[in-house]
Chains A and B, each alone.
Chain A
């Protein structure tokens, strides 16, 4: 443990409004602490810069999964285990279920939360590509009220988001995909479990006959942010998948992503695998 522990604070507000009041009254001083699967790692390494945290793990408003005819609402504190064990989510949002299954091991899945994964804003996180491909919308809550924001607009740069200092992520809204949609998720992390992704791909395609009516493609670990590839989507939408379209899409996505070399992989590898996975996704659309 490299951190100087006496310097850190973790308070436990009684209610959500008490938590939001903390954020309002002392803006920038307090940060939320959910499952701790990222923050505790930084703490251990002596690299947790922020000092004052409040626990949100027990706040009932931030839990729960609810479905309506058209949408599903996932509380920010929905854990990966919650997702995995939920038959409805596994059926309707298989990419999210797969992302949950491939994040860490069982013990991490029991503590890691969707909201935490989003707020931590790592470009290598496993659930954001799936959430982007499901066109997620975030509900942010503050003492003064709440607002909704398309998730695709949330990340603005490496570890930068549009969340204001007085806000918490309350929940994630997903639109239920059409039956028969193609869901394609692949996390590439060299080993089979407990890996940090080198490339993470999520693709959703709805089609009428041979024509793609709605395509969403998102990637992790290939840009400073979890990336929704809108130009590639536009290129594909309204077209029939064929060899020509596929090669145009591969070119487009290569322009859209901005992978780097780091200790886990190379830009070259990430770019090529992203293309390969896009090609595989497209070829899987019957």
Chain B
């Protein structure tokens, strides 16, 4: 018997292949007869396609050319609303919208040909901002530019504003688009023909999403479409829905040419044409007692979805549910909208709407604290949600959540109080202004509401005659450690060594649909299914009398061999069942939004250089409770990586838009943090096992994206005395604010006065 793998830093399954360069990513593969594919895109934000012209000097007869008219099935990427075409037909709705596909065996000639296709578009008026979209300056989608709205109501928020003893605080907060910037760009290889169907292998998070989309694109039976995930060089949400597009394109070219087609985006195409984090705008209006008790919160949350609906509705959903944070407030109204603009569709990115709404809340609460004369810390302590209290959707918290303990630990690790006092004292005399700030937040794991019930995920475990166990799931390894933790979980359930379990490469021809690799669900939801399937496998052997209660690795192997000889394949499958006590009302958005939440307090220490207005994060402490930690190194790696992405979103990653097109779509001009920019990130876990997760684990992947932005801006507020309410906070914005304040003669104002600008006592 194994002495248990859970909580141990076993070596990553694909670690050796990755450090030796042996791991095969899609661009490393070649098929016989393979040709290359490219996409010709719109240069215009919105308009009617007039003409497509093929320039001279190119042997066009050698090329495979695909337009919308070549599509055998439905010209729509199947997702939620199916409004996004694979290839624009009569109209284009965003810059970089695909219009035409080309393939040729000479990839250099292919690029030359791509340059020689001219798409004439008669421009139509376009919309580029949330404000213009809401105002219906031009109606560009549906009847009102609105993809989706939600309304969450708790108590009666309309009655709270008139209380005598209340302070009302308002604020507006904005966040910018963020590019996922996985280092491996999107890419696939497709083969397709009527006899054998469509096979696509490539870089992706969700093979069954691609499967569903291609079944409709080609109008083929499900067993005639097969999707295989290759080693994937990062996703972060950016390979959740987009692979359905590029896979469809490559498959269309393969279908028409009769040859395998490889399509790999270069960095510029990947940055300008594929999805980004939704920009957002949040308005807060909060009623708080003079003692600092939250009485009413009215939150208006809007995200920019880009030109097509894609996943905006579900991104909005998560952002909406997280908008009121981990606080106990009796009266809450959250109304939210996802609106259309003529930009490439925004999409999934780690956190999925929650980082946007949590940023707004955690900045706003500092404003609320100042308005009632409390420290940011004290205000939160007085309102932290505790066991038995309810969230904004009315979900009763059944776990022992102790945010105050997380806060204490984070403050201790970061020397928060001592630094806060010291920086306040020393900043006046210093060119470098230092500050320290924090954010407290939660993140729900798994699909929202009834999502998991509808997904009905299935996971299998099989054992070979040699006693090797294989986990069968569609959950992808994208760097986060799926292969490793699934093997740990299965090995532990079976009482076997970690090395005796492997995780099969996701291939829709072989593994069941365990749902998409998103929403911090892989460990908690799918991992639990892995555990159950593994236990069933063991039970099957026991039922056959082949395995005693206590057994060795060799006993297990013998039992497997015996079983396989008797019955053939040894497999066990299990399907998700929603726990009895979980209730969710989809219509009113009330009830148990998530099976479990991870809870966290993050502290950031910053310096702001008043010569260059540059902000630097000097130290970072991340304290969280994520249930049981399955793998301490991988878990800490998730937190550190998420914090780094959050830091980038906060200070560096400024998407520059020009008429709906990303103007800085190169790594040189869209800057992510380098090794020289990351502060020490100190990660601390509290463990509080969750009964619904495997070995007590909850979700972890998205959580660390939520905290950095508000923690850093709260620290900048401490450092400079200026309340910044937009990310990214670029040096240009810091300069404008500091100069404006200097101009008003408010050089040395105490923090409480400057932060109270949005406060009006009623």
Q: Which residues of A contact B (CB under 8 A)?
A: 1-6, 41, 44-46, 105, 186, 188, 190-196, 198-199, 263-266, 268-269, 272-273, 276-277, 280
Q: Which of B108, B664, B677, B731 contacts A269 (CB 8 A)?
A: B731
Task: Write the chain A residue with the least CB distance to B669.
Answer: A263
Output the least CB separation between A222 and chain B (Å): 14
Contact indicator B109/A191 (Cβ below 8 Å) = no
Contact indicator A190/B652 (Cβ below 8 Å) = yes
Output the least CB separation between B62 and chain A (Å): 15
- A45 to B730 CA separation, bound complex (whole angstroms): 27
Contact indicator B673/A191 (Cβ below 8 Å) = yes
Interface presence of B18 (CB below 8 A)? no
Number of interface residues of B (CB under 8 A): 34
- A186 to B611 CA separation, bound complex (whole angstroms): 11
Output the least CB separation between A217 and chain B (Å): 16
Which residues between 589 and 618 of chain B lie within 8 Å of chain A, taking CB atoms? 610-614, 616
Contact indicator A196/B668 (Cβ below 8 Å) = yes
Contact A4 to B612, CB < 8 A, known contacts A195-B671, A196-B668: no
0/1 interface trace, chain B 666-704, chain A, CB 8 Å (1 if under): 101101011111000000000000000000000000000
Contact A1 to B674, CB < 8 A, known contacts A45-B268, A268-B732, A269-B613: no
Interface presence of B382 (CB below 8 A)? no
Contact A190 to B266, CB < 8 A, known contacts A4-B111, A195-B671, A272-B739: no
Contact indicator A1/B735 (Cβ below 8 Å) = no
Interface presence of B107 (CB below 8 A)? yes
Known: A3-B108, A263-B664. 6 other contacts (CB 8 A): A4-B108, A190-B731, A194-B674, A195-B671, A269-B613, A269-B731
Q: Which of B107, B614, B732 contacts A1 (CB 8 A)?
A: B107
Output the least CB separation between B269 and chain A (Å): 9
0/1 interface trace, chain B 104-115, chain A, CB 8 Å (1 if under): 000111011001
- A6 to B677 CA separation, bound complex (whole angstroms): 40
- A19 to B311 CA separation, bound complex (whole angstroms): 58
- A44 to B736 CA separation, bound complex (whole angstroms): 37
Contact indicator A2/B674 (Cβ below 8 Å) = no
Which residues between 609 and 660 of chain B lie within 8 Å of chain A, taking CB atoms? 610-614, 616, 651-652, 656
Interface presence of B396 (CB below 8 A)? no
Output the least CB separation between B689 and chain A (Å): 40
User: Which residues of the other chain, B, contact A1 by a CB distance below 8 angstroms?
Assistant: 107-108, 111, 266
User: Which residues of the other chain, A, contact B111 by a CB distance below 8 angstroms?
Assistant: 1-4, 46
User: Which residues of the other chain, B, contact A265 by a CB distance below 8 angstroms?
Assistant: 731-732
Q: Which of B612, B666, B676 contacts A276 (CB 8 A)?
A: B612
- A265 to B112 CA separation, bound complex (whole angstroms): 33
Contact A193 to B612, CB < 8 A, known contacts A1-B108, A46-B115, A269-B731: no
User: Which residues of the other chain, B, contact A194 by a CB distance below 8 angstroms?
Assistant: 671, 674
Interface presence of B749 (CB below 8 A)? no
- A272 to B613 CA separation, bound complex (whole angstroms): 10
Output the least CB separation between B273 and chain A (Å): 14
Contact indicator B611/A276 (Cβ below 8 Å) = yes
Contact A280 to B611, CB < 8 A, known contacts A196-B669, A263-B663, A266-B732: yes
Q: Which of B614, B668, B736 contacts A190 (CB 8 A)?
A: B614
Of the A-B pairs whose beta carbons lie under 8 Å apart in the complex, a sample of 5, sorted by A's number, is A3-B108, A192-B616, A192-B677, A268-B736, A272-B735
User: Which residues of the other chain, A, contact B112 by a CB distance below 8 angstroms?
Assistant: 4
- A4 to B671 CA separation, bound complex (whole angstroms): 28
Q: Which of B610, B652, B656, B673 contacts A263 (CB 8 A)?
A: B656
User: Which residues of the other chain, B, contact A188 by a CB distance below 8 angstroms?
Assistant: 612, 614, 731
User: Which residues of the other chain, A, contact B115 by a CB distance below 8 angstroms?
Assistant: 2, 46
Contact indicator A5/B108 (Cβ below 8 Å) = yes
User: Which residues of the other chain, A, contact B677 by a CB distance below 8 angstroms?
Assistant: 191-193
User: Which residues of the other chain, A, contact B675 by a CB distance below 8 angstroms?
Assistant: 193
Most B CB contacts (10 A, CB to CB) among A1, A190, A195, A268 go to A190
User: Which residues of the other chain, B, contact A45 by a CB distance below 8 angstroms?
Assistant: 268, 666
Contact indicator A277/B674 (Cβ below 8 Å) = no
Task: Write the chain A residue with the least CB distance to B733.
Answer: A269
User: Which residues of the other chain, B, contact A268 by a CB distance below 8 angstroms?
Assistant: 732, 735-736
Contact indicator B671/A190 (Cβ below 8 Å) = yes
Contact A273 to B669, CB < 8 A, known contacts A192-B674, A193-B676: no
Contact A192 to B676, CB < 8 A, known contacts A46-B111, A263-B669, A264-B669: yes
- A2 to B267 CA separation, bound complex (whole angstroms): 11
Task: Write the chain B residue with the least CB distance to A41.
Answer: B668
0/1 interface trace, chain B 97-121, chain A, CB 8 Å (1 if under): 0000000000111011001000000
Task: Write the chain B residue with the least CB distance to A44.
Answer: B266
- A192 to B676 CA separation, bound complex (whole angstroms): 6
User: Which residues of the other chain, B, contact A46 by a CB distance below 8 angstroms?
Assistant: 111, 115
Contact indicator A190/B611 (Cβ below 8 Å) = no
Task: Write the chain A residue with the least CB distance to B111.
Answer: A2
- A269 to B668 CA separation, bound complex (whole angstroms): 20
Task: Write the chain A residue with the least CB distance to B665.
Answer: A263
Give me the 4 closest cross-chain CB pairs, A-B, nearest first: A192-B676, A193-B676, A4-B112, A269-B732
- A192 to B731 CA separation, bound complex (whole angstroms): 13
User: Which residues of the other chain, B, contact A191 by a CB distance below 8 angstroms?
Assistant: 652, 671, 673-674, 676-677
User: Which residues of the other chain, A, contact B613 by a CB distance below 8 angstroms?
Assistant: 269, 273
- A235 to B656 CA separation, bound complex (whole angstroms): 39
User: Which residues of the other chain, B, contact A277 by a CB distance below 8 angstroms?
Assistant: 611-612
Contact indicator A273/B668 (Cβ below 8 Å) = no
User: Which residues of the other chain, B, contact A196 by a CB distance below 8 angstroms?
Assistant: 668-669
- A177 to B134 CA separation, bound complex (whole angstroms): 62
User: Which residues of the other chain, B, contact A5 by a CB distance below 8 angstroms?
Assistant: 108
Output the least CB separation between B57 and chain A (Å): 10
Task: Write the chain A residue with the least CB distance to B38.
Answer: A2
Contact A269 to B735, CB < 8 A, known contacts A1-B108, A5-B108, A196-B669: yes
Contact A190 to B268, CB < 8 A, known contacts A1-B108, A2-B111: no
User: Which residues of the other chain, A, contact B268 by a CB distance below 8 angstroms?
Assistant: 2, 45
- A4 to B111 CA separation, bound complex (whole angstroms): 7
Output the least CB separation between B436 and chain A (Å): 20
Contact indicator B611/A273 (Cβ below 8 Å) = yes
User: Which residues of the other chain, A, contact B666 by a CB distance below 8 angstroms?
Assistant: 45
- A194 to B671 CA separation, bound complex (whole angstroms): 9
- A268 to B108 CA separation, bound complex (whole angstroms): 42
Output the least CB separation between A79 and chain B (Å): 20
Which residues between 491 and 539 of chain B lie within 8 Å of chain A, taking CB atoms? none
Task: Write the chain A residue with the least CB distance to B109.
Answer: A4
- A191 to B650 CA separation, bound complex (whole angstroms): 12
- A186 to B651 CA separation, bound complex (whole angstroms): 20
User: Which residues of the other chain, B, contact A266 by a CB distance below 8 angstroms?
Assistant: 732
Output the least CB separation between B739 and chain A (Å): 7
User: Which residues of the other chain, A, contact B676 by a CB distance below 8 angstroms?
Assistant: 191-193
User: Which residues of the other chain, B, contact A199 by a CB distance below 8 angstroms?
Assistant: 612
User: Which residues of the other chain, A, contact B668 by a CB distance below 8 angstroms?
Assistant: 41, 196
Task: Write the chain A residue with the least CB distance to B113.
Answer: A4
- A44 to B108 CA separation, bound complex (whole angstroms): 11
- A182 to B698 CA separation, bound complex (whole angstroms): 58
- A4 to B669 CA separation, bound complex (whole angstroms): 24
Contact indicator B656/A190 (Cβ below 8 Å) = no
Output the least CB separation between A125 and chain B (Å): 13
- A195 to B652 CA separation, bound complex (whole angstroms): 11
- A264 to B730 CA separation, bound complex (whole angstroms): 10
- A3 to B107 CA separation, bound complex (whole angstroms): 10
Task: Write the chain B residue with the least CB distance to A105.
Answer: B674
Task: Write the chain A residue with the least CB distance to B662.
Answer: A263
Task: Write the chain A residue with the least CB distance to B431.
Answer: A280
Output the least CB separation between B114 and chain A (Å): 8
User: Which residues of the other chain, B, contact A6 by a CB distance below 8 angstroms?
Assistant: 108
Output the least CB separation between B509 and chain A (Å): 33
Output the least CB separation between B115 and chain A (Å): 7
